[in-house]
Amino acid sequence: MSQDANKVIIFDTTLRDGEQTPGVNLNLAEKLEIARQLEALGVDVIEAGFPAASPGDFEAVRAVSQNVKCSVAALCRSVPEDIQKGWDAVKYSPKPRLHIFLATSDIHMKYKLRMNPEQVLERAVESVKLGKSLCGDIEFSCEDASRTDPAFIYRVLEAVIDAGATTVNIPDTVGYAMPDEFGAFIGGIKENVPNIDKAVISVHCHNDLGLAVANTLAAVRNGARQVETTINGLGERAGNCSMEEVVMGITTRGSYYSLTHGIDTTKIYRTSKRVAARTGVPVPVCKAIVGDNAFAHESGIHQHGVLANPMTYEIMTPQSVGKTESTMVLGKLSGRHAFSDRLQQMGYTLTKEELDSAFVEFKALCDRKKAITDDDLEALVVHAVADVPDYYKIDTFQIQSGNKMQSMASITLIHDDEPFTEAATGDGPVDAAYNAVTRIVGGDWSLTAYDIKAVTEGMDALGEVVVRVKHGEELHMGRGLSTDVIESSIHAYVNAINRAMAMEAKKMA
C-alpha cells in the first residue's frame, strides 16, 4: 500500500447514498454543483452514483467524472452488466474507481441472494477480476459486514485482494454494530487477513442506532484508513455517517488520533448549507458542527465563560468550520462586479447566463431589503440557478384571508407565453393558493410536506419554503424564496410542479 499510513481518505457518497434520502431527487446541474463543492472541500473520492440504476444516474456519474479532478467512484453490483456500465460512466475521470459490492451475511445470502457462502466467494472474486480488467482502482464491499461471520469475511477479503481489490470496505449496513465491537472487528481483519497490507480498509456506517460516527471513529482507531460519509449525515432511514463530525473529531482531537486528512475545514459550513439547499433537507438546529445552535450560548454561566475565554465552552471555533460573518455588505447601489466578486469568494462559479439571472434576483431583493448578507446571497443563488424549466411561471397573485372569513386566492400563471387565471378557496391562504394553481395545471398534486424557515434575521428576513408534492407515484421537491411567505409558498409549489414536468419530459425523450 503506497498510501500515507497516517492519512484518512475521505470518501463522500452524498451524491449516491445521500440521494437515497426519501424525497431527495437531484437533477444533473445540482449534482454537478455539489460535486464541485465537494472537490473544493478536499474530499479524496466522490461516489457519484449507481450507473446501472437508471439512465439519469449513468449520465450523472459520467458528467461528474468529466468535471472534477479528484477520484470518482461508480457503485456496481457483482454482475458483469453493472460493472461494464459503471466503467462506461466513470472512465472519463482522471482517477476512476469501480466500487463493487456483494452481501456476505448469512441472512442476506439466504434470503436476498439465495446463494451459499462458496457461491458468494466465487462471485466476489469473478467480479473483482472483471473490474480489474477495466479499471486499476477497485473497491470491494462486503454488504452487511457487521452481521457477517468474521471467519468468512477474512476469506472473502483475502480472495478479493488477491484478485486485485485495492480497497476493501466493511459496511455496517443496517447500523447494528457497537463502537467497541466494530473497532475490534476491524482489528480482527488486520490480524487475520494475510494480505491486508495490500489494500486500504474502508468503513461505511449507517446511523440506525445513532452510532455511525462513533463506529467510524472506532474503526479509524483500529486501522481503517478510508471513511465513507455524507454531508449532513444524509442517507436512507436514519442516514449515514456525517462527514463534518468525523473530520472535526479527527481535527479537534489531533493528539488522540495522530491522523491527517485533506479536508479544508473552513469550507464545511458552506458545503453543508449548499447541500441542504439543494436537497431540501434542513439541518437540525442542534446538529453538531453545522447546526445553527452549534456555537450558540444562552446560559449566563456559559456566556460569561466564553467571553472570558472561548475555550471554556467551545472546543473549536466557528471560524474553523467556516462559520464567519460577511466581510462585505451588498445593497441596491452595488454593481455587477462587486456582486460577482462576492459570489466567487463564496465558492460559486456561474456562467454568464446564471450570473445575469442571479443579478436580476439580487436587484429585486435589494428593493425589499436594505442590506444583503451572505446568507441572503446563498439562498438567492440557489434559487436563481436551479436549472428547472419554467413550464409554469407566476405572473400575479391576490390573497384574501382573515380569522372570520374563508381564504380565497386568485392566481395567474404563464404557460407557453399565455396567461391562465383561476380562483379558489381553501383552509388558509396557502391552501387556497395551491387549489388555484392546481385548477390551472390540472391533475393531482398532493402536498405531502411543507417546511418554512427564515433564511436570514430581522423583520425583512427572507423566508424559504420547501415542499414535497406527490404526483402519481413520484415525490417532487420544490423551493420558494421571498420576503413574503405566501409568495415563497406559491413559488415552492410551482417549482415542484415544474420539476415533475421536467422529469416526465426527460423520461419521454
Every domain range in the chain assigned CATH 3.30.160.270 = 393-508
The single residue listed with the C-alpha cell 413550464 is 391
pLDDT at 460: 66
More confident residue, 449 or 195: 195
pLDDT for residue 16: 96
pLDDT of residue 503: 82
Residue type at 326 in one-letter notation: S
Summarize the confidence of residues 338-356 as an average pLDDT.
Answer: 79
What pLDDT does residue 224 have?
A: 98
Residue 166 CA to residue 148 CA, distance in Å, equals 21
310: buried, middle or exposed (CB in 10 Å: 19+, 13-18, 0-12)?
middle
224 close to 201: Cβ distance less than 8 angstroms? yes
Place 457 in a pLDDT band, splitting at 50, 70 and 90.
Answer: low
How many Å apart are CA 353 and CA 303, to the nearest integer? 46
pLDDT for position 326: 47
What's domain 9-263's superfamily in CATH? Aldolase class I (3.20.20.70)
Whole-angstrom distance, CA of residue 486 vs CA of residue 468:
16
Q: Which residues pair with 410 in a beta bridge?
A: 398, 423
Confidence of residue 363 (pLDDT cuts 50, 70, 90): confident
pLDDT of residue 192: 98
User: Does pLDDT of 254 surpass 60?
Assistant: yes
Average pLDDT over residues 91-119: 97
Residue 328: pLDDT above 60? Answer: no
With a cut of 60, say whether residue 300 has pLDDT above it.
no
The mean pLDDT of 378-397, rounded to a whole number, is 79
Which residue spans of the chain are classified as CATH 3.20.20.70?
9-263
- 3-state SS, residue 223: coil
Segment among 12-16, 193-197, 265-269, 306-310 with least mean pLDDT: 306-310
State how far the Cα of 425 lies from the Cα of 240, in Å rounded to an integer.
Answer: 43
Kindly list the distances between the CA atom of residue 321 and the CA atoms of 39, 110, 371, in Å, as whole numbers in the listed order. 16, 45, 25
Question: What is d(CA 466, CA 48) in angstroms, rounded to the nearest whole number?
Answer: 25
Give the Cβ contact number of residue 440 at 10 Å.
Answer: 18
Please check whether residue 426 is in contact with residue 433, taking contact to mean a CB–CB distance below 8 angstroms: yes
pLDDT the model gives residue 139: 98
Query: 174 pLDDT exceeds 80?
Result: yes
Confidence of residue 6 (pLDDT cuts 50, 70, 90): very high
Neighbouring C-beta atoms of residue 205, cutoff 10 Å? 30
- Which residues are paired to 97 by β-bridges? 73
Note the CATH number of domain 393-508: 3.30.160.270
Residue 335 confidence (pLDDT)? 80
Under 8 Å between Cβ of 96 and 71: yes
* Burial class, 2, CB count within 10 angstroms (exposed 0-12 / middle 13-18 / buried 19+): exposed
Distance CA 359, CA 502 (A): 25
What mean pLDDT value characterizes the chain? 90
Structure confidence at residue 509 as a pLDDT band (50, 70, 90): low
Residue 318 DSSP label:
G
Question: Which runs of consecutive H residues, i.e. helices, occur in 398-472?
Answer: 429-441
| Residue 305: band (very low, low, confident or very high) from pLDDT cuts 50, 70, 90 | low
Cα-trace Rg, the chain: 25
pLDDT at 389: 82
With cut-offs at 50, 70 and 90, classify the pLDDT of residue 98. Answer: very high
pLDDT at site 105: 96
Q: Which helix (H) or strand (E) segment is 337 a member of?
A: helix 336-345
Q: What is the pLDDT at residue 211?
A: 98
Q: How is residue 1 written as a grid cell?
A: 500500500
Residue 82 scores a pLDDT above 50 = yes
Residue 351 CB neighbour total at 10 angstroms: 9
Confidence of residue 327 (pLDDT cuts 50, 70, 90): very low
Give the residue among 188, 191, 192, 139 at the shortest CA–CA distance from 163. Answer: 139
CA distances from 475 to 132, 287, 392, 448 (A): 38, 26, 18, 8
Residues 60-74, mean pLDDT to the nearest whole number: 97
